Amino acid sequence: MGKITNDELKKHNSKESCWVKIHGKVYDVTEFLPEHPGGQNIILKYSGKDATEEFDPIHPPDTLDKYLAPKFHLGEFDESSVSAADRQAEADAAAEAAANVSPEELERLENLKAIPRLEECYNLFDFEHIASKVMKNAAWAYYSSGADDEITLRENHAAFHRVWFRPRILIDVAKIDLSTSMFGTKVQMPFYVTATALGKLGHPEGEVNLTKASHTNGVIQMIPTLASCSFDEIVDAAQPGQTQWFQLYVNSDREVTRKIVCHAADRGVKVLCITVDAPQLGRREKDMRSKYVPPATDDDDTGATVQKGAEVDHSQGSARAISTFIDPALSWKDIPWFQKVIKDHGKPMKLVLKGVQRVEDVLLAIKYGLDGVILSNHGGRQLEFARPAIEVLAETMEVLDRNNLRNRIEVYIDGGIRRGTDIIKALCLGAKGVGIGRPFLYAMSCYGVDGVNHAMNLIRDELEMNMRLIGANKIEDLDRSMVDVRSVDQHSNVPSDHLTSIVYEGLNPPPFRRS
């Protein structure tokens, strides 16, 4: 087939025949419309047009090859067929769109021009604040959202306020060494960059920013299954000798999963972290609301469609859109299968469960011979009222110590970590390290790789100072005697339920009878 002209592309702009152009190639997605995990409205918005900009952040580069049958790959787009009139029409449409931007978008664009200097960011919260003002609404909503009323999201950080220090004094703290090891790899600081999806929503280069900053700072990056960059791009961006882990969502088709696992091992991944807290994706309503796409035409927007809308999955937000392959049937029975796949493949990888939420399951993980657990509630994005990891850690290490099991498994936590003191508290309680996710996404979204490096430098400074103040020279010096955790499980002051508060109409006492 010859190249496809613009006139041809433009003709296929309906549900009946829907073509889109992505990266200079034309695809027929008509039959795929009902299957698109993100709903058809979003595709129809771009039917007969270039969809590259919308497509890119949400789909890794190999998506079309993987999911759209070759017969629907129609061929190269003929750039020379775009007439002067077409170009003018495109420019007019762009100008019209620019003239119609919402006041919020105008404010965001102004904020971008006036973004604070990087050196004015003194802590990780600063990045979060700036991100909320400069990121596109849909990207901010996806990264920042949590499940339901976002109580667990906020409690994750708040819980660190229930752990207080018992510092030692008169220790020579002239020298501080922050290095430690994670599954045998020496790292310069006791945290890793945890897996977060869709990096290109925040920054055009996506996750490779995190790869570079991880190398610069001597920490490990956990590669997400649902990255915007492909897995190989992220591995290729690493320097020789740089350690990466891989976070795995298990596909219902185990053969697909087996191939992914073996490929990760072939590419030198050292640790496979199976996500176990997301058999179904939590409701993140902030994300859902920001992605809502109204029906494509006014005609569709009739009472009848509104009625139908109740059945149609209009928009579940970015995450739900790309998560339909995740197997909700995954169970403990599958663990030996993973161990066998890794063993048979002959390239050792440690096997870790990410998203463990109670000590009983840590004990099971030990029984199954797993190498590690990450105590996590998925950054408050899954089960609302799942307890914060720092609390589960206190519970876990007490039981492990009582049963002499501490050396049987490496324990990590993630969720809500924003301060060097948060990290030190986790290490005092027995964590080997902590995962940090959103803060690096915010730093990357605002300032690219420089932002991530700066964020890591801030953590280093906070860690170093607080190690001195608590009386510890090195990570092994941190122990449970240095924290007071008597109130770690007291849920007396949980974050407020905002929606309840704003919709609640107070009761009134009886009125006085005045004529």
Q: Which is nearer to ligand 173, 141 or 319 (CB)?
A: 319
Cα–Cα distance measured from residue 295 to residue 45, given in angstroms and rounded to the nearest whole number: 9
Strand partners, 326: 251
Tokens of 163: 């752990």
378 belongs to the catalytic site = yes
* Strands lying side by side in the sheet with 73-76: 49-50, 19-22, 25-28, 73-76
Element (H, E) at 272: strand 271-275
Q: Which is nearer to ligand 173, 144 or 243 (CB)?
A: 144
Of the candidates 277, 361, 414, 422, the residue annotated as catalytic is 277
Q: Which is nearer to ligand 173, 320 or 432 (CB)?
A: 320
Q: Which residues bind ligand 173 (CB under 6 A)?
A: 197, 226, 278, 281, 319, 322-323, 378, 381
Smallest distance, ligand 173 to C-beta of residue 47, A: 25
With tokens 């906020």, the residue in question is: 154
Half-sphere exposure of 389 (CA within 13 A, CB side): 32
Query: Are 381 and 361 in contact, with CB atoms under 8 Å apart?
Result: no
Q: Which is nearer to ligand 173, 50 or 277 (CB)?
A: 277
Smallest distance, ligand 173 to C-beta of residue 328, A: 12
Smallest distance, ligand 173 to C-beta of residue 224, A: 8
Q: Which is nearer to ligand 173, 378 or 454 (CB)?
A: 378
Smallest distance, ligand 173 to C-beta of residue 434, A: 18
Query: Are 209 and 444 in contact, with CB atoms under 8 Å apart?
Result: yes
Q: What is the DSSP letter of 401?
A: H
Q: Which is nearer to ligand 173, 58 or 431 (CB)?
A: 58
Of the candidates 249, 412, 442, 447, the residue annotated as catalytic is 249
Cα–Cα distance measured from residue 246 to residue 235, given in angstroms and rounded to the nearest whole number: 10
Of the candidates 12, 59, 203, 378, the residue annotated as catalytic is 378
Q: Which is nearer to ligand 173, 200 or 381 (CB)?
A: 381
Smallest distance, ligand 173 to C-beta of residue 49, A: 26
Q: Which is nearer to ligand 173, 225 or 466 (CB)?
A: 225
Q: Strand, coil or helix: what is 372?
A: strand
3-state percent breakdown (helix, strand, coil) of the chain, nearest 5: 45, 15, 40
| Alpha helices (H) in 203-314, listed in sequence order | 208-217, 231-236, 254-266, 285-291, 303-309
Q: Counting beta carbons within 10 angstroms of the beta carbon of residue 2, is it exposed (0 to 12), middle (13 to 18) or buried (19 or more)?
A: exposed
**Greatest extent of the chain over all pairs of C-alpha atoms, in Å:** 90
Q: Strand, coil or helix: what is 90?
A: helix
Smallest distance, ligand 173 to C-beta of residue 69, A: 23
Query: Are 151 and 385 in contact, with CB atoms under 8 Å apart?
Result: yes
Smallest distance, ligand 173 to C-beta of residue 197, A: 4
Question: Which amino acid would we find at residue 50?
Answer: D
Cα–Cα distance measured from residue 442 to residue 455, given in angstroms and rounded to the nearest whole number: 10
Which residue's CB atom is positioned nearest to ligand 173? 323
203 belongs to the catalytic site = no
Smallest distance, ligand 173 to C-beta of residue 278, A: 6
461 belongs to the catalytic site = no
Cα–Cα distance measured from residue 336 to residue 410, given in angstroms and rounded to the nearest whole number: 19
Query: Are 331 and 265 in contact, with CB atoms under 8 Å apart?
Result: no
Active site residues: 249, 277, 378
